[in-house]
């Protein structure tokens, strides 16, 4: 019974929409925090202290992961034979 309810909501359209939503969130994080890059500790790229630098790296890496997961969900949703 529970599996039928889950399968009802796991339509290719819903999976694709979820992927698109993850992509939008990821792009927003990348827009705000920039792409993760390797900068020497003494270098500056918008962060004024080490804690802020760590936050920028974490958020931008998280944004990239969301973009990748979103694209994977969109690709999976195109294979209707899996459902």
Q: Where are the domains of the chain?
A: 2-82
- What's the CA dihedral at 67, 58, 38, 46 to 10 degrees? 100
Instruction: Tell whether the torsion through CA atoms of 49, 52, 54 and 60 is positive or negative.
Output: negative
CB 8 within 8 A of CB 48: no
Average pLDDT, the chain: 81
82 — pLDDT class (breaks 50, 70, 90)? low
Average confidence (pLDDT) over 20-29: 95
42-62 confidence digits (pLDDT tens):
555 555 677 887 888 899 999
60-78 confidence digits (pLDDT tens):
999 999 999 999 999 988 8
CB 61 within 8 A of CB 20: no
What is the predicted pLDDT for the residue at 67? 95
The Cα–Cα gap between 30 and 63 comes to: 6
């Amino acid at each position: 019974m529970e599996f039928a309810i889950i399968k009802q909501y796991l339509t290719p359209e819903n999976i694709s929409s979820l992927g698109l939503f993850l992509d939008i969130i990821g792009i927003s994080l990348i827009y705000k925090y920039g792409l993760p890059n390797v900068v020497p500790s003494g270098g500056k790229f918008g962060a004024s202290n080490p804690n802020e630098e760590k936050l920028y790296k974490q958020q931008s890496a998280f944004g990239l992961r969301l973009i990748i997961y979103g694209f994977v969900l969109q690709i999976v949703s195109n294979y209707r034979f899996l459902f």
